Amino acid sequence: MEKLLIKNGNVVFYDRVEKNDLLIENGIIKKIAKNITENCKTINAEGLHVFPGLIDMHVHLREPGYEYKEDLLSGSKAAVKGGFSQICPMPNTKPICDTAAAVSYIKAREKEINLVKINPIGAITVGEEGNQLAEIGKMKKAGAVAISDDGKPVINTKMMRLAMEYAKDFNLICLSHSEDKSLSEDGVVNEGLNSTLTGLKGIPRAAEEIMVSREILLSDMLKVPVHICHISTEGSVNLIKQAKERGVKVTAESCPHYFSLTDNAITDFNPNTKVNPPLREERDKQAIIEGYRKGIIDVIATDHAPHHKDEKNIEYNVAAFGISGLETSFSLTITNLYQTGVLTLCEIAQVMSYNPAKILNLDGGEIKEGKIADIMLADIDKSYIIDTNKFLSKGKNSPFDNMKVSGEVQATIINGIIKYTGEKFNDRQTD
């Protein structure tokens, strides 16, 4: 029997933080108590916090088709370094992940790599073209955990209705990329003062909010759940708040860049600030923060979007959209939401582990006896400088390069097996 004992850690439960030991046996949390003694491999977690393994329900791993940007191996390495035990890649690869065969390919690569749990998201429509539903049931059987045409909105409202109904039949959920393309057109930044000052074409808030409204109305009409991806505006937060108050089954995510930056960051024309939806204004950033504080926004997702340096080191207007986020998400959350008193450590565990697991019906997401031993150990007080040259992701595209943050992942344990340790972590382990 394989055993692992984690001693003296500050264990972050759903509703409390307690100093405890964790005994892990055959990949399961066998016992949580004080002063456990066991003759097995032991980790001294004194001074560290023991979180459930983080779950990112929105990443782009690029394989198959765009391996020069990222592949499943490099993305998996970045994930475990970032504290993630499970990640959910979006289907906009080449070919699009819209068949059982495509889902099966990703699951086979997951087993080969044997690092992080990879839960594929299948496409809503064939080729993400919005014309014909993909083989939803077959993708579910092959291992898909949700459906989305992320990267493109489902423009046809009837098609989105059918998708939501079919998803419910297979116990899946639609993840909506909410963007009215006729409004966003060729925009590259938020429409506002800074787009005027820089001469860069703006994307209005309404491009997002119109589609958020549509998904809420469909969810309300059909009485089925829907999840809104990467919200960025004050209006979206208000729409979701109002919908939840009247009982609509809507959940939502935002990303660290939306609660950490504003579109003031674009004024030096750094293409690493180019992301879709775009960085918004201070009132939007504060609304996102309040959305987390009040429980309106359910999930922190990275929308990890790695790119080759040649796709970013060019003119802003033609640079690719996206930020490489797996290796900075936890630290940005600790720095900007925990240290500022917005979220407690328990609430961080909820939005980064428990809630994604609940929304997608995944095992894991909490620390509890009898549950899967997906664990992340972190030093929440440790400060460091983000250095994109040290990223394990192929994508070094981050606006947070050289930023000082707090909260460093020290170890990631998946199914009771140590998958990542920091540089000085070996001193904490004994046989």
Alpha-carbon distance of 260 to 288, in angstroms, equals 10
Per-residue pLDDT tens over the stretch 381-417: 999 999 999 999 999 999 999 999 999 999 999 999 9
Alpha-carbon distance of 375 to 378, in angstroms, equals 10
Alpha-carbon distance of 24 to 5, in angstroms, equals 6
Per-residue pLDDT tens over the stretch 165-221: 999 999 999 999 999 999 999 999 999 999 999 999 999 999 999 999 999 999 999
Alpha-carbon distance of 200 to 178, in angstroms, equals 22
pLDDT higher than 90, residue 423: no
Q: Which residue, among 92, 110, 90, 101, has the nearest Cα to 142 in the 3D structure?
A: 101
pLDDT higher than 80, residue 424: no
DSSP 394: S
Q: Does residue 268 have an active-site annotation? A: no
pLDDT of residue 389: 97
Q: Work out the average pLDDT over 267-275.
A: 98
Helix (H, G, I), strand (E, B) or coil at 71: coil
Which stretches of 53-174 are DSSP H helices?
72-81, 100-113, 136-142, 157-169
pLDDT of residue 1: 57
pLDDT higher than 80, residue 426: no
- For residue 164 the two structure tokens come to 């939501």
Domain ranges of the chain: 3-50+373-430, 52-360
Per-residue pLDDT tens over the stretch 135-166: 999 999 999 999 999 999 999 999 999 999 99
Its CATH class, for the domain covering 3-50+373-430, is mainly beta
Contact 192, 202 (CB under 8 A): yes
Q: Work out the average pLDDT over 236-241.
A: 98
Of the CATH numbers 3.20.20.140, 3.40.30.10, 2.40.50.100, 3.60.20.10, which one belongs to the domain with range 52-360? 3.20.20.140
Q: 3-50+373-430 and 52-360 share one CATH topology?
A: no
Percent of the chain's residues with pLDDT above 70: 100
Q: Work out the average pLDDT over 104-113.
A: 98
Which stretches of 277-416 are assigned E, i.e. beta strand? 299-300, 375-385, 404-414
Question: Catalytic pick from 303, 363, 381, 401?
Answer: 303
Mean pLDDT of the chain: 97
pLDDT of residue 109: 98
